[in-house]
Amino acid sequence: MGTEIIVGLDIGTTKIACFVGVRGENERVKILGFGKTESTGVEHGVVKNVKDASEAIRRAVDEAAEQANVDIDEVWVGIAGQHIKSRPSQGSVMIPPEHELIEQEDVDHLTNDQYNTMLEPGEEIIHVFPQQYYVDNEALSREVPPVGVAGKVLKADFHMVTGNVQNLQYIKLAVSRAGLKIKGVVLEPVASAKAVLDDSDRDAGVAMVDIGGGTTDIAIFHDRIIRDTTVLPLAGNAITNDIREGCNILRKQAESLKVKFGSCLVQAVSENDIISIPGIRSQAPREIYVKTLAGIINARTKMIMEQIDYVIKLSGFGKKLIAGIVLTGGGAQLKNIKDLCELVTATDTRIGIPNEHLEPDSVNYNELMHPMYATGIGLVLYGLEKAEENLEPEPAKEVKKKSGFDIFADMDDMPAAPAAPVVEQPAESPKSKKKKRGEGDFGKALTDFFKTVFDEGIDE
């Protein structure tokens, strides 16, 4: 078992959860501590109220730290929200003459250069994923890595993920006010994929769909490479709000109905089943048909599935997903959601839980074996991989400092600029002094001329 302790912080719309883990046996993760609290100050995956969010973060972190019996000062943070965008990018670098073959530093140089890409104002790069490498304009197959290939020019296609600078800054402020530092920021579907997918899924082609409270996050993999990422602004809270408005009940009652009695398929419920909802104060109980509830859930969930299907087709990998669709997140617990997804997308679907990557002796094991905790466990797995690779969390940090702005850097921690060294200047020669006064060759000739004229005038 490894000794490196990694902390993942899932700042969601409905919950904030903290996970403390280490590397277990068979490449699994062992969770040592787990803390969860109701999310406050967060809307659609974006921190809106920094004070409320920081207090909720502190409660979740304190609970996990106490259970794991460790001090927590650094966390890996998941990020989502409808401000997340993705775009293709391409770059190339010349291989130095002293490199007979392409080296890892050449590949890193090419990737890091992408963080200098010109973006729209207010955008910041979060991830850069290489798609295809070319050496001297010849494409390399997936089985041939660029390191070790002979060539003069290395080029690559990239998939770039960006986020809004202000929203990223709000996350940083909320975490720092909770007394923590950010080790790295990870797109939530990328983290969730770590927990619910394996190499065979990524190789065959799979769409990982994380249905949370505020957003639905999609990551498409093929040939073990992440090909496309999308964040949709519709998720579980939209379904709850539809139930609240359609049945004219409280939000907490709507959430409870959705989880306990809800179904994504109307034909799967009985015609005559009725649910009785207690009235407020002296009001009479409200009766709701289960079929009516299912109809409300079906309408909104079908809309979400249609958007998922559209994103998959738009990516160009719709017919290449041999492993199908994997649904995870809190929204994946809805009854018959797998069947509805298959009906809408005509693609094989399964529910993704972190059972393959979680040690059985982890704390709260039975509770953590749930789709809603895929992101948090995935953040720990992501951090462990980075620690084991002995790499910087994000190469972008070093590059972004050149622009004078780094959302992860605390100004107070920056070292003071070193004082300029005092260098004793050598004594100047008479010739150099004359040149400083402008008495060079031309100046000397001019002086001699006026001296001659002046002397002749005196003689006369």
pTM for the predicted model, two decimal places: 0.81
CA dist., res. 384 & res. 31, Å (int): 12
Q: What's the rounded mean pLDDT across residues 146-173?
A: 95
Domain spanning 87-163 has what CATH number? 3.30.1490.110
Is the domain 199-354 a CATH 3.30.428.10 member?
no
Query: Sorting pLDDT into bands at 50, 70 and 90, what band is 278?
Result: confident
User: What is the predicted pLDDT for the residue at 415?
Assistant: 43
How sure is the predictor about 2, in pLDDT bands with cuts at 50, 70 and 90? low
Looking at residues 51-55, what average pLDDT do you find?
96
* DSSP codes, 81-146: STT-EEEEEEEEEEPPTT-SS--HHHHHHHHHHGGG----TTEEEEEEEEEEEEETTEEPPTTS-S
Residue 28 is classified by DSSP as: -
Mean pLDDT (the chain) is: 86
Instruction: Give the model's pLDDT for residue 401.
Output: 36
Q: At what angle do helices 290-315 and 251-261 cross, to 10 degrees?
A: 80
> What 8-state DSSP symbol labels residue 405?
-
Q: What is the pLDDT of residues 401-452, one digit of tens each?
A: 333 334 344 434 434 444 444 444 444 444 444 444 444 444 444 445 444 4
- CA-closest candidate to residue 77, choices 204, 178, 223, 213: 178
Q: What are phi and psi of 210, to 5 degrees?
A: -105, 110
Higher pLDDT, 415 or 80: 80
**Domain extents in the chain:** 87-163, 199-354, 430-459
Segment 102-115 shows an average pLDDT of: 94
Helix (H) or strand (E) holding 281, with range, is: none
pLDDT of residue 400: 40
Phi–psi pair at 337, nearest 5 degrees:
-70, -30
Identify how many contiguous H helices and E strands the chain contains and give both numbers. 14, 18
If you average pLDDT over residues 86-104, what whole number do you get?
94
Q: Which helix (H) or strand (E) holds 369?
A: none
Confidence category of residue 360, pLDDT binned at 50, 70, 90: very high
pLDDT digits 0-9 by tens, 189-213 = 999 999 999 999 999 999 999 999 9
